Structure 1
Amino acid sequence: MALDRETQLIQILESLARTGNISQTASELALSQPTVSKLLRTQEKAYGVDFVDRSTHPLKLTYAGEYYLSKIRGIAQAYQTLSNNLTTYAADAHGRITLGINPSLAQVILPQILPQYHLRYPQIEVQLRERDSLSLQQSVQNGDLDLYIGVTPAYNAALAYQHLYSDTGALVLPERLAPQTLPSGPVVDISPLVNGKDFISETPDSDFQRTVDGYLTKYNITPNVVLQTANLTTACVLATAGLGATIIPLSMPTHYLQDTAVTTLPLAASVFQTEVEIAYHQERQLNTHVQAFIDMAIATFEDNATT
């Protein structure tokens, strides 16, 4: 919808309300008097009302003219705002990014990226979905999500991957399961600490749990799994309550474990290591703000690795 005719009529009515004279209005707007009269008559005919009371001198706007002028000003301003915003949207200054991430990993990654991303792109809306790894990967493949961040998933030819960072693991032992003498340094084989003991694991659809399961199988470790949870924070809290041991990413914040009756032992990187990746659809072209998120995330964790 174009408002050129209405904008011109606004100028004519504003001038007439001020000058009360067609000739002066024509002069102010650099138009001929017949042109002003014709434009005015055409719009009056279109709406079926008189905008100008021609029986008075100087001329005055009718009630309909005053009403039209007050309302059309707002419409014209709203249209201009709409037009300007659409131009801005086309330049990717506004928009939306849909991001999927496992709840346990979200607390490690998002605090390091989202605050600075929001400061840099305050008009970009971030929609976050925290679910299990498999469903999030499927959402990226279906085009329902722009990005997925997670531990390296099973290979999917429809997805492209960019490496974010490498991580190891840590064993969290409640007081009742911790031995009197603890190993020094990163642990290679935790079987003496976990084999046959109560253990809390993530649900099987977790890519991190897939790494844990591979490690346990390699060392023939068979813990007594008393609970499976989709959130490793829940596993940690339950470990502090004495339910069982659990394995978490070493980078996972554990400030809530301080002053609790648990022991945290890092696992050796030579036997337990995960790769955290950003995944997106192989055939979809990334828009500016999605690519900016990826670039910022990679730069952030590269900086962390060098400090």
Structure 2
Amino acid sequence: MISYNHIGIGVKSMNNYDELLNYFNAILNFGSFSAASDQLFISQSYLSKVILKAEKELGATLLDRSHHPITLTYAGEKFMSGLETIAFERRNLYQEVHDIANNKNGHISLGINQSIASVYLPEILPIFHEKNPRIHITLSESPSAALEGQLLHQDLDFQIRMLPIYTNKIQFEHLKYEPIYLILAKNSPYFNLNKSKINILEDNFECLKHQDFISLYSGSGFSRLLETFLNRQEIDLNTVLKVKSIQTAATLAYKGLASTFIPESFLNKDFDPTLCNIYKISPNVLKMNVVLASLKDRKFTHEMELFQKSVLRSFSIYK
């Protein structure tokens, strides 16, 4: 049951949606403007003015005044349904904020590179949510460079990412090392038909030179890692296609379109040896280091401490 008595606090201090919803409910419950205005402790002329103003702004008649008692038009039904939805969402929002302020609910904002989200989040979020169901997580999936900026501005609490990190304002905890593999496509002069064995590539990277490659757009953690490695090896790739996702690059390379690098998480050991060869890059030369990054010198909330401990525990088997 909706209470109408609080309407008399004055229209300027109220939310217009709440005001309209209360006014519509009163008119429909009591059947007329006069009866509704009596219950609302406002004048009938003021109530009519508010409703007419809403109808003018919307360009639609909301109440069928020819009926007694007054009913909603079809447009009025849609409008009132929307007002009720807004009121419901607003109450939920206020309750969430109130709970957070009173430590009933907590909040964690987490950023992760979109390419590795599907690999690492299942290892982290279900376990954390099961033990901490009242802590809400806001997730941002973007390239590492964009997430790094959010972390530095404290728009994120944590970022799951790959090294390298070039700023000294960010600290990190190691989560997992992953070997890197080269998918060598069939159009490479170094391709060996029907070679299904995965060999280790130690230090001879001649096969990378002047090859057609599928590369990731700059800004991702994996592309940063590869750029550092290739610069050190003085190798320029012939990029024929740029994609956003490691999975997309891997799928196309497995089909023989062009060569690419992938972390072990994207390795398909049942690859077709008529379309590509696969080499494991020696971890002494190149490997992916996945870390949990946070802003240095930032004081952790209780929720942040719980999240960090949970993530580190989830990946302790890899250390």
What band does the TM-score fall into relative to the shorter chain?
0.5 to 0.7
Alignment of 1:131-280 (within 5 A): 131-177=142-188, 178-180=191-193, 185-189=199-203, 191-250=205-264, 252-254=265-267, 258=270, 260=272, 261-280=275-294
Tell me what 1:110 maps to: 121
TM-score, normalised to structure 2, is: 0.62
Q: 1:174, 1:263 within 8 Å by CA — same for their partners in 2? A: yes
Q: 1:186 to 1:274 in 2, by over 3 A?
A: same
Contact 2:106–2:136 under 8 Å retained in 1? yes
Query: What is the distance in 1 between the residues matched to 2:221 and 2:182?
Result: 17
Matching residue of 1:121: 132
Q: Deviations over 1:52-101 (max 9, x none)?
A: xxxxxxxxxxxxxxxxxxxxxxxxxxxxxx99988964574522211111
CA RMSD of aligned residues (A): 3.0
Distance 1:109 1:85, change over 3 A: closer
The Cα of 1:286 is off from its aligned counterpart by 1.6
Q: For residues 112-142 of structure 1, what are the alpha-carbon distances to aligned partners after superposition, in whole Å with 9 as ceiling and x for unaligned? A: 1111111111222221111111110110111
Deviation at 1:165, TM superposition (A): 2.0
Alignment of 1:74-113 (within 5 A): 89=100, 92-113=103-124
Structure 1: unaligned runs, 5 residues or longer: 1-47, 49-81
* CA separation of 1:85 and 1:175: change in aligned 2, threshold 3 A: closer
Task: Tell me the alpha carbon deviations over residues 186-220 of structure 1, each in whole angstroms, 9 at most, x when there is no partner.
Answer: 21246343321110111221232222122223333
Kept in 2: contact 1:92–1:288 (CA 8 A): no
Report the Cα distance in structure 2 between the residues aligned to 1:86 and 1:218, rounded to whole angstroms. 50
**Separation in 2, partners of 1:182, 1:192:** 21
Name 1:38's counterpart in structure 2: none
Confirm or deny: 8 A CA contact 1:179 1:193 kept in the other structure: no
Larger radius of gyration: 1
Partner residue, 1:45: none
Alpha-carbon spacing, 1:84–1:186, altered in 2? closer, same or farther (3 Å):
same
Report the residue type matching 1:195 in the other structure.
K
Q: Distance in 1 between matches of 2:180 and 2:97?
A: 47
**Structure 2, unaligned runs of 5 or more:** 1-40, 42-92
Matched residue SS, 1:104: coil
Distance change in 2, residues 1:134/1:83 (3 Å): closer
Report the Cα offset of residue 275 of structure 1: 2.1
Distance 1:111 1:290 in 2: 19
- How many residue pairs were aligned? 225
Supply the AA of the counterpart residue of 2:240. Answer: V
Structure 1 residues 119, 264: closer, same or farther in 2, change over 3 A?
farther
Moved more, 221-230 or 172-181: 172-181
Alpha carbons of structure 1 residues 84 and 105: separation in structure 2 relative to 1, 3 Å: closer
Q: Which moved more, 1:212-221 or 1:163-172?
A: 212-221
Question: Would you say the 8 A contact 2:199–2:278 is kept in 1?
Answer: no
Tell me what 2:62 maps to: none
* 8 A Cα contact 1:189 1:219, kept in partner: no
Q: Distance in 1 between matches of 2:266 and 2:271?
A: 14
- Give TM-score, length-normalised by structure 1: 0.64
